[in-house]
Structure 1
Amino acid sequence: MKKIYVLRGVPGCGKSTFIRHHHLEPYTISTDNLRLLYGNLKYIYDEKQGKTRQVIPQEYNEQTFNLLYSLIDNKMQRGETIFVDATHLYPNAFEAYREYVEKYHYEMICIDFTKEINLNELLKRNLTRVDFRWVDPEVIKKIYKFAKSHPRLPRWVHQVTPNQFANTLYIGETDLSTYRSIAIIGEEANFKGTLKPHEFYISYNHDFARKHHHSKDVIFINRDLSTCRDHNAYTVFPFIFKGKHYLATSRTLRDEFIGYIKNIHGRNFYNFGLANLTDFMQEFPVNASRVKQISLNNFKQSSINRLA
């Protein structure tokens, strides 16, 4: 659920066009736009073309990236999906993100444009770009060379092509069919005894989940943002049990919120789009759902229910 997407590619490769095509502007932080918050476009003289050009100022890089990381930290506190539009083609480009990814338990996905277009086409496109998007051709050559010599990313970064982006929006079910039963622990339930072998636990009781946080058989369903950083916490947990499909959430989701469901070899994949974590926690009037839902709305919170 918690994802940060970073676009990687040489200027002119189509990163910003990709953002517009997929209507991702409301979710995107562009380093060029941040630079323009610190200083207006400025004129330079292009000796090769014998003309003046307006360009984005580059002397505010330190302030730009400090602001970028501050915005990322702020958004991650709320579990929001983030896109970062920048080249990410310089040494240790991803290292500064690692602190935030680990702190807030995010998945980092790099949409990599470096194999989409060759150098000659990049230089050709650069000549026809809007003036302030123009980049010195020598800079493009330098960045392109770096991209070709550094194709591998850190192991903790999930690398995809632009054409693979749509697949990253889907959340697949966890198959719990190997368990004999599933216990649903209410928010106010009093669980006594020890965990049973071959039983899986979906808990709305934070004390229970925290007590058993080392167990792979226990998860917690968030009801607000205060627990989102717990490693065994989920905001929505799709699962299949004995051939039936379920969604465990804090609040019952309206059917249109669930969106498109694709089934591959009997397993459901859900596309919730770019919804915020808090969107899943809001209470809306309930309508008919295609999927059986388990939520705070639909069972007594002092009880322990079981699927068997």
Structure 2
Amino acid sequence: MRTLLLMRGAPASGKSHWIRDNNLEAYTLEADHFRMLLRSPSLGESGWYISQEDNGPAWELLLDCLEKRMSNGDFVVLDATHTTSKAVNAYKELLNKYKYTVYYYEPDTSLEECLARNATRTDYKRVPE
């Protein structure tokens, strides 16, 4: 299939919800899952949170898994905010190497709605405003 679908948008904008609604979990790589493989949620002054201390190794693992899936020609969904060109540029070499087509999905969610959804998230999934 050689298709990469990049989810794009603010935290709590509905990216993961859209993936669940469309039964795409089996095709999805998500940075927070890799962070939590490396370290359990931590307890801080504001409650539980997913540590960013292992961000580098988590993204290395994600990119290794992405390359393996792309080498197989698999359809892949990447669930992350992808709010900067630097974030997206990390995939360009792989897209060219494996001749992939990339698409973006960005939920049309207002900042107010994102903040409201974020406030109701499980402690460790909540992000600072």
Measure the CA separation in 2 of the matches of 1:128 and 1:14: 13
Tell which structure's C-alpha radius of gyration is larger.
Answer: 1
Query: What is aligned with 1:105?
Result: 99
Q: Note the residue ranges of structure 1 that are not aligned, 5 or more in a row.
A: 47-52, 138-308
Query: What is aligned with 1:90?
Result: 84
Equivalent residue for 2:111, pick from 107, 113, 119: 119
Superposition pairs for residues 220-259 of structure 1, below 5 Å? none
Superposition pairs for residues 269-288 of structure 1, below 5 Å? none
> 2:20 is aligned with what amino acid?
R
Q: Percent identity?
A: 34
More helix by share: 2
Measure the CA separation in 1 of the matches of 2:65 and 2:23: 20
Measure the CA separation in 1 of the matches of 2:97 and 2:85: 22
- TM-score normalised by structure 1 residue count: 0.41
Query: What is aligned with 1:304?
Result: none
Query: What is aligned with 1:77?
Result: 71
> 1:92 is aligned with what amino acid?
K
Measure the CA separation in 2 of the matches of 1:111 and 1:101: 17
Deviation at 1:90, TM superposition (A): 2.9
Task: Confirm or deny: 8 A CA contact 2:14 2:109 kept in the other structure.
Answer: no
Query: What is aligned with 2:54?
Result: 60
Instruction: Write the deviation string for residues 129-152 of structure 1: whole angstroms up to 9, x where unpaired.
Output: 111111111xxxxxxxxxxxxxxx
Instruction: Write the deviation string for residues 76-102 of structure 1: whole angstroms up to 9, x where unpaired.
Output: 111110011111113411111000000
> 1:38 is aligned with what amino acid?
L
- Match of 2:97, SS state, is helix
1:131 and 2:123 matched: yes
**Structure 1 segments of 4+ aligned residues over 6 angstroms from their partners:** none
Query: What is aligned with 1:17?
Result: 17
Q: Note the residue ranges of structure 2 that are not aligned, 5 or more in a row.
A: none
Task: Confirm or deny: 8 A CA contact 2:7 2:104 kept in the other structure.
Answer: yes
Provide the aligned length of Structure 1 versus Structure 2.
129
Task: Indicate the RMSD between aligned Cα atoms, in angstroms.
Answer: 1.0
Query: What is aligned with 1:34?
Result: 34
- Match of 2:90, SS state, is helix
Deviation at 1:57, TM superposition (A): 0.9
- Match of 2:53, SS state, is coil
Measure the CA separation in 1 of the matches of 2:113 and 2:62: 30
